[in-house]
Amino acid sequence: MQRRSLLRLIAATGAGWALPGAARAAAPKTTPKPKPIVLYCDLAVDPAREQEMLDAFHRHFLPAARSFRGRGFIDLKMLKLRTVIQGRPAPPAGVNYRFQLTYESEAQRQQWIRSDVHERNWPLIERTVLNRDYLVLLTDAV
C-alpha cells in the first residue's frame, strides 16, 4: 500500500516539474526587440576651442539630446582620445575626440537630426572642429 502511494507521489512530483517546461514551450514566442544603432564621429577639435566645445556639449547639446528620451534616444558620450594602445592605422592627425550616440533605431536618429533642437545645438559643437570632413561611422549592435 505504501509503495503505491509512493509511486503516485513520485509520478505527481515528476509531472509537476515537467509542467513549467511544457507551459513555457506552449507559450507564444515573443519577437526579439531590435538592437540599437551606435553612431561615431571622430572629431579634430581645435585645442584653442576645446573648453568651448565641452561647455557646448554639456550645457546645450547633451540636454537637448536627452529631451528625445522616449523617442529613441538611449545614450550620448563625448570621449577624449588618450592613446592608441594597439593597431593601425592610428586616427588622423589632430583627431582628439570621439562623439558616440546610441539610438533605438536609425529611423529615430534621423528624426532627431532633422529636429529644430538638433539643428540649433549641433553647430555649437561643429564650429569648434578643425576639419568638417570628419569620419562618421554608423554601426549596429549585435
Q: Give the range of the structural domain holding residue 76, as residue numbers without chain letter.
A: 37-140
Residue 46 inside a domain? The answer is yes
97 strand-pairing partners = 43, 80
Predicted confidence at residue 33, as pLDDT, reads 85
pTM flag (> 0.85): no
What CATH number is given to the structural domain containing 75?
3.30.70.100
Residue 4 inside a domain? The answer is no
Domain count, the chain: 1
Residue 14: which pLDDT band, with cuts at 50, 70 and 90? Answer: low
pLDDT in tens, 41-59: 999 999 999 999 999 999 9
Residues 89-94 have a mean pLDDT of 93
Report residue 52 as a C-alpha cell: 568651448
Predicted confidence at residue 31, as pLDDT, reads 83
Residue 32: which pLDDT band, with cuts at 50, 70 and 90? Answer: confident
Coil, strand or helix at 137: strand
Whether the Cβ atoms of residue 61 and residue 128 lie closer than 8 Å to each other: no
